[in-house]
Amino acid sequence: MHTRRTHRRTRSGTTLLAAALLATACSAGGASTSAGSPAAEKAGGATGTARTTLAPLSGATPSSLSPYYGQRLSWRDCGVPGFQCATMKAPLDYEKPAEGDVRLAVARKKATGPGKRLGSLLVNPGGPGGSAVGYLQQYAGIGYPAEVRARYDMVAVDPRGVARSEPVECLDGRRMDAYTQTDFTPDDAGETEELVGAYEGFAEGCGARAPKLLRHVSTVEAARDMDILRAVLGDEKLTYVGASYGTFLGATYAGLFPDRAGRLVLDGAMDPSLSARRLNLEQTAGFETAFQSFVKDCVRRAGCPLGGPGTTPGQAGRKLKAFFGDLDARPVPTGDPDGRKLTESLATIGVIAAMYDEGAWQQLRESLGSAMKRHDGAGLLVLSDSYYERETGGSYSNLMFANAAVNCLDLPPAFSTPDQVREALPDFEKASPVFGEGLAWASLNCAYWPVQPSGEPHRIEAAGAAPIVVVGTTRDPATPYRWAKALAGQLSSGRLLTYEGDGHTAYGRGSTCIDRAINTYLLRGTPPADGTRCS
């Protein structure tokens, strides 16, 4: 399993941020902290919050980086009408730039007009591990408001280790299938050993295929890559819209380069001051909040498999948990050509996947009904496959591999041993009676990572930056609303914009109030008043 993912692709093809088993907080960059060490505990490695603040880099570009900042991109057609692609170089190790490069995939769609061009608008859909280039080509470059696309060149770069940018690879499709079906609610010592073995095998696969790259996929390094891209594009300041984990990336950029931060929108915000354990625990509570909203909607509709009018979320949750327990003992058929059955682990991820977007609730009702009443797990398997980005034929994108690589480098692990997970189970199960047990065990994966973490929890203040708009959704499953409040409070120029609703992220998801506020900021530079609320 994996932890702290905040990205998934919806049925309509738009890439949103967030995910069951969450996304990571930003790396601190400089300090190296070993998991389980006194320094890690002091920094929040177990249950605490940050005691450090991300410091800005020097305003002057080091001479050793001048070749990167001065490079010219060679744009070419990339097979998608209206889009151009290029390859940008960045140092693999910013402390030792002479030791080699990493090649990053960049794409753009030029401003269409009318109106004066405002520069480049960089977008990132989150993850970590989500392809920004794919997001641009499939959604942002054609689905962002026409007035925004008219004035900005829409630009994306796949972060290092992701998709087209020297992707981290770990397991082939067959081994990944086995990994996703591993029981992540172990009932005894044997099942615990099997889960640990799955985590160890995943980590060993990543270490064997990308031993050097794994040390250099941190959020700080990705943010520094964005500054090279800003300069190469000819922009004095960065204009940026980041969703979910992309808010960590954008906030990190502002913390490192506050004088170069232009109009930044951080939608579905994360709190970089929290430890991995706190992040996972609070995200677990976020999925419970979203599940309760789903239940309240479901029981009002005919045929809800979790109950009818008068059924409480608690009762519905116990029914779903019992169904998961039945699957643990007896997986149900799915009709999958590769012979996969619906296991407890796949069903849980299928339900979690639908929590990201209330538009998927009907699909979830129908899929649960088929599985619970007719022993047909095909619908939940489709939802699970969409979460893992499993393609027809059994191959996977590198989303899950990059997700773990960034998460495990950015923060000390949430847990170091199975015993620590068992001790924390009551807290996780209190946060979510339905998902708590599974999400607690999923938080163990980084304990076996082959590379030591380079980051730690920290505050981001970005003193001196222009106004930064931080967007939070009150019933967001993957990035709980309190994270947006926390990040807006940390940023010296943060402006909190609230969407009172369901689903993950808010921009472009149906709220005229949210869209108007963000569009006005991007086009005119006028941020919404701090504390603005929309529904």
Please name which of 406, 531, 471 lies closest in space to residue 244, comparing C-alpha atoms: 471
Note whether residue 372 is domain-resident: no
Positions in the chain short of pLDDT 50: 1-3, 7-47
Per residue in 478-499, is it b (16+ CB within 10 Å) or e — as a string?
bbbbbbbbbbbebbebbbbbbb
Q: Which residues are catalytic?
A: 244, 476, 504
Amino acid type, 7: H
pLDDT of residue 27: 28
pLDDT of residue 97: 96
Domain that includes residue 135, residue range:
1-58+75-329+398-535
Specify whether the CB–CB gap between 138 and 14 falls below 8 A: yes
CATH code at 138? 3.40.50.1820
pLDDT of residue 196: 98
Helix (H) or strand (E) holding 298: helix 276-298
Q: What is the distance between the alpha carbons of residues 532 and 509, in angstroms, rounded to a whole number? A: 17
Note whether residue 352 is domain-resident: no
Note whether residue 373 is domain-resident: no
Q: What is the distance between the alpha carbons of residues 211 and 450, in angstroms, rounded to a whole number? A: 8
Side-chain-side CA neighbours of residue 65 (13 Å): 20
Q: Which residues pair with 121 in a beta bridge?
A: 154
Could you tell me the pTM of the whole model?
0.92
Note whether residue 272 is domain-resident: yes
Specify whether the CB–CB gap between 455 and 26 falls below 8 A: yes
Per residue in 88-104, is it b (16+ CB within 10 Å) or e — as a string?
bbbbbebeebeeeebeb
Per residue in 127-161, is it b (16+ CB within 10 Å) or e — as a string?
bbbbbbbbbbbbbbbbebeeebbbbbbbbbbbbbb
- Give residue for tokens 């519905």: 316
Please name which of 189, 161, 146 lies closest in space to residue 104, comparing C-alpha atoms: 161
Note whether residue 388 is domain-resident: no
pLDDT of residue 209: 87
Helix (H) or strand (E) holding 390: none
pLDDT of residue 4: 54
Q: Is the peptide bond before 114 cis (omega within 30 degrees of 0)?
A: yes
Q: What is the distance between the alpha carbons of residues 182 and 65, in angstroms, rounded to a whole number? A: 45
pLDDT of residue 45: 39
Residue 339's Cβ-count burial label (10 Å; 0-12, 13-18, 19+) is exposed
Note whether residue 54 is domain-resident: yes
Q: What is the distance between the alpha carbons of residues 347 and 367, in angstroms, rounded to a whole number? A: 10
Q: Looking at the 3D structure of the chain, how many domains does it have?
A: 1
Query: Is residue 264 helix, strand or coil?
Result: strand
pLDDT of residue 192: 98
pLDDT of residue 49: 62
Q: What is the distance between the alpha carbons of residues 6 and 125, in angstroms, rounded to a whole number? A: 9
Note whether residue 524 is domain-resident: yes
**In this structure, what DSSP letter does residue 75 have?**
-
Provide DSSP, 154-193.
Answer: EEEEPPTTSTTSS------HHHHHHHHTS-SS--SHHHHH
Q: Where are the beta strands (DSSP E) in 24-81?
A: 76-77
User: Taking CA 373 as the corner, what is the angle to CA 324 and CA 1, rounded to the nearest 5 degrees?
Assistant: 25
Query: Is residue 326 helix, strand or coil?
Result: helix
Token reading at 490: 């940390």
Per residue in 501-512, is it b (16+ CB within 10 Å) or e — as a string?
bbbbbbbbbebe
Token reading at 231: 């300069």
Note whether residue 531 is domain-resident: yes
In degrees rounded to 5, what are phi and psi of residue 105? -80, 130
Amino acid type, 105: A
